[in-house]
Structure 1
Amino acid sequence: MADRPPSGEWFAKRPGLTVLAIVATVLGLLVILPYLQYVLLGVVLAYILVPAQRWLERYVSSLIAALSLVAVTILALLLPLAYVLAVAFREALNLVDVIQDGNGNLDVAIIESQLENVGYSVDIVEFYQTYQDPIATGLQGLAMSAVEIAGGAPGLFIGLTVTVFVLFALLRDGGEFVVWVQRVVPIEDDLLAELLSELDQLMWASVVGNVVVAAIQAVLIGIGLAVLGVPAVVLLSVVTFIFALLPLIGAFGVWVPVSIGLLATGQLVPAAILIVYGSIVSASDTYIRPALIGRTSAFNSAIIVVGIFGGLVVFGAVGLFIGPVVLGGAKITLDLFTRERADAPHPVTGTGTPGVDSAVQTAPETGLTGEQPPESELDVDEGGDTETNADETAAGGDEATEREHDDSPDESDESDESNESDGTDKTSETDETDGNLENGNETATDTDSELDR
């Protein structure tokens, strides 16, 4: 992919097109926003089914493969899911009716006697009569919520239709969509590839890993409850699936209260079996989850918990899967931003002169600026190489080296001190030399006179 021009320079040269692109993006988001959760659900389903799409494309066209997978998804996933939710909703209403009417099979006396055996004396009838109004208010709110859910069926149908079309489009043209995203996002190609890779790991951990683990535990707990004859098996299985998505709760949130209920009603053997069976199912989380998820740095318990509950509020039911991915993606993006900011070149600060090459310095002796010679040329023997170099420089006429030699007063001072230390002998020798020179001059004068004659 070709290198992108600098973003700031490019935007500055095309302000009109930049503003138009921003406005178009905002308007597009406003159109998508009412059905954002269904669009995200389609993205999640497409992510799960992409390997199957690639496998089918070996034998049929991408169009046929996408249509086949969409049909299988509707028949194998959406319809059973709708049925399970309907059954769970009906069982929840039945429990509400039993509690509200008091005509169910709950034997209050047996429950009270079992609680007394373990050290708790509770009058359930008196408790219900005391808090009857708050309980009735809560049940009324639950009924109103059920009515609102039923009234929102047309909107649910439209949203699922959006999900189906998004799923089909991504399965058929998902590769082109990824290339388009890489062209649109204004960051370097290597950084974008790294970001998409990390998000892929997060999506796998959230959707495939956590959901598969939660589904396995929900099915196992549901089978155990059905064998023991516990009522509302479908509802409890759905609740187990939701709790299993939370790392701090898990399947404990279902089988522990049910076991306590069985103990309270005197069913000691089923309660003991459920405790042992539930412990095994919950312990399987320790082995299944790491095998499916592996190690993802940005995917920790805090992100899972906050992402699930926050995702439920913002995105609805699909927020169970999207919420942790959004939070984890935000963490990865900030980590990438911090790393690139730390690696970016910074201006040189300090006492030195900015912008000067370190290889070009000013010689402290001469005041001349030039490139420093190699260290081997700077290594000079203090014993006598300095005088030899000075003689060679005087013969060759190197003015710069003469300055360097002349600017070394220490050696001249040492020579003067040594001459003064010679004493009278040196002085006498000098006088004799001067006398010889005078005699020589007189001889030369006599010779010149004779030549003139």
Structure 2
Amino acid sequence: MLPMPTTRTQEAQSRDLLDVLIRAALIAVLAIFCFRIFAPFLNLMVWAVILAVTLYPLQVRLRHTFAHKDGLIATLIILVAFGVILAPTYLMGVAVADSISHAISIAKSGSFHIPPPADSIASWPLVGQRVHDFWLQASTDLVGVMQRFAPQLKAAGLAVLGTVTGLGAALLVFFVSLIVAGILMAYGENGHRSAVSIASRISGPENGPQIADLCTATIRAVAQGVVGIAFIQMLLIGIGFIVMGVPGAGLLALAVLLIGIMQLPATLITVPVIIFVIVTEGVSTATIVFSIYEFVAGLADNVLKPLLLGRGVAVPMPVVLIGALGGMVSGGVIGLFIGPVMLAVGYQLFWRWVRDQPQTVRPPEEQQA
């Protein structure tokens, strides 16, 4: 028979339990206060880490050229990145401003006129007659159509204005995070050791380095396979718009970039533009070549994504793609990077847990057989 615990032992256990609860509560309060203080800078720091991880291989390549001067290398990379980003941004802003000013001048002059629809449109299945009637009304009484849809147009204008304002603020945060990323890159070796130490403390010494390397590879793969492909598509499609003289080519190219980052098909932009060009310009060799080129360019991500999105990542490409889509839906653009990282880490830990099973001992009769 085991001796029953004395009253003094019970009091000591209760006191120890109370001490543990008080310490846990104080740690929780401290963590909450720290998070509230750091929360305004959370997006900025996440972007800085993403940019630093993405650009750090370039710094490693330049290390021998600049005699291991990490601070100088990081400064040069950030300056070049500013130039690469600011030049297209400026040109895009000028193109958008010209398109808006041109539209305003046409609206004020009253010279804007929509050509009447072709009779063949009425024969389209299901929606042909409605499209023909609406188009015909717009060509004869545009002011009346605009007054009819004035509330919807006002709401759409406010939404566009809010989007532009949000893009401006996001661009400012991006530039500041790029500067912070340069500072992180200058201390890249220390940062990598810290990341490995944190991952080892959470998941164990045997898993820490692999988890840190997996997170790094996933961030770089998403940067190449999502943002890189969206930028390539913007260039390919935008060049076609400019050569064909499509109105608002700069604004449409920007929309292609945003749609590509949001993992939506670029054909949402290219197909309506192709229809607009064919309707306004007619069927000719130029419009046919333009249509084929834009349609193929809009599908280029289907070829490039399997090649770039999962490259260098020790998890299947569908896992990274699902993480990017789910992260984008739940967390915006930053979720585009955080989602694949979290899903890839969870995938690896799950299969490591599945494989780490104790060896079952077979019965003696099975061993003799």
CA deviation vs aligned residue, 1:99-148 (integer Å, no higher than 9, x gap): 97693544232x45563476542233646636735444433552476379
Q: Does residue 1:138 correspond to 2:138, yes or no?
A: no
> 2:330 maps to which residue?
310
| Match 1:40 to one of 46, 55, 61 | 46
**Counterpart residue type for residue 80 of structure 1:** A
- Richer in helix (by share): 2
Aligned residues, how many? 330
Task: Return the TM-score normalized by structure 2.
Answer: 0.72
Amino acid at match of 1:195: I
1:363-392 CA distance string (max 9 Å, x none): xxxxxxxxxxxx9xxxxxxxxxxxxxxxxx
For residues 197-212 of structure 1, the aligned pairs below 5 Å read 197-212=213-228
**Partners of 1:39 and 1:162 within 8 A in 2:** no
Q: 1:323 to 1:88 in 2, by over 3 A?
A: farther
Residue 122 in 1 paired to residue 142 in 2? Answer: no
Structure 1 residue 74: Cα displacement:
1.7
Change (3 A) 1:145 1:232: closer
The aligned residue for residue 394 of structure 1 is none
Shift of 1:176: 0.9
What's the CA shift for 1:67? 1.5
Q: What's the counterpart of residue 187 of structure 2?
A: 173
CA distance in 1, matches of 2:293, 2:271: 11
Letter of the 1:291 counterpart: L
1:56 equivalent in structure 2: 62
Which letter maps to 1:193? P
CA contact (8 A) 2:327 2:335 kept: yes
SS at match of 1:311: helix
Q: 1:279 to 1:138 in 2, by over 3 A?
A: closer
1:177 & 1:116 partners in 2: Cα distance? 65
What's the offset of the Cα at 1:261?
A: 0.8
CA contact 2:237–2:298 (8 Å) conserved in 1: no
Answer yes or no: is 1:253 the counterpart of 2:265: no
Distance across 2 between alignment mates of 1:197 and 1:262: 48
Q: Does 1:234 align with 2:240?
A: no
Q: Does 1:299 find its partner at 2:319? A: yes
Aligned residue among 75, 87, 93 for 1:67 = 75
Listed one character per residue, the Cα deviations across residues 304-336 of structure 1 (whole Å, up to 9, x for unaligned) are 333323332xxxxxx1xx323322233233334
1:173 CA drift (Å) = 0.9
Q: Distance in 1 between matches of 2:244 and 2:118?
A: 22
C-alpha spacing 1:15/1:62, structure 2 compared with 1 (3 Å)? farther
8 Å contact from structure 1 (residues 70, 164) kept in 2: yes
2:287 partner letter: A
Q: Which AA in structure 1 matches 2:339?
A: L
Query: 1:44-69 deviations in whole A, cap 9, x for unaligned?
Result: 32223212211222224111111111
Distance in 2 between residues matched to 1:97 and 1:42, nearest whole Å:
39
Mapped partners of 2:114, 2:236: distance in 1: 29
Matches within 5 A, 1:45-444: 45-58=51-64, 59-60=66-67, 61-77=69-85, 79-84=86-91, 86-87=93-94, 89-90=96-97, 93=100, 97=104, 103=110, 105-109=112-116, 111=117, 113=119, 115-116=121-122, 120=129, 121-124=132-135, 126=137, 129=144, 132-139=147-154, 142-143=157-158, 146=161, 159-160=173-174, 162-184=176-198, 185-245=201-261, 249-269=264-284, 270-294=286-310, 296-297=315-316, 299=319, 301-312=321-332, 319=333, 322-342=334-354
Cα drift, residue 219 of structure 1: 0.7
> Structure 1: how far apart are the matches of 2:179 and 2:27?
25
Q: Distance in 2 between matches of 1:250 and 1:73?
A: 27
* Structure 1 alignment gaps of length 5 or more: 1-11, 313-318, 349-356, 362-374, 376-453
Supply the RMSD in Å over aligned alpha carbons.
4.0
Find the residue that maps to 1:250 and give its secondary structure: coil
The answer to whether the Cα contact below 8 Å between 1:96 and 1:139 also exists between their aligned partners in 2 is no
Q: How many percent identity over aligned positions?
A: 18
Q: Secondary structure at the match of 2:203?
A: coil
Relative CO higher for 1 or 2, CA cutoff 8 Å, sep ≥ 6?
2
Partner Cα separation in structure 2 for residue 338 and residue 112 of structure 1: 60
Q: Provide the secondary structure at the position in 1 that maps to 2:207.
A: helix
Q: CA deviation at 1:262?
A: 1.6
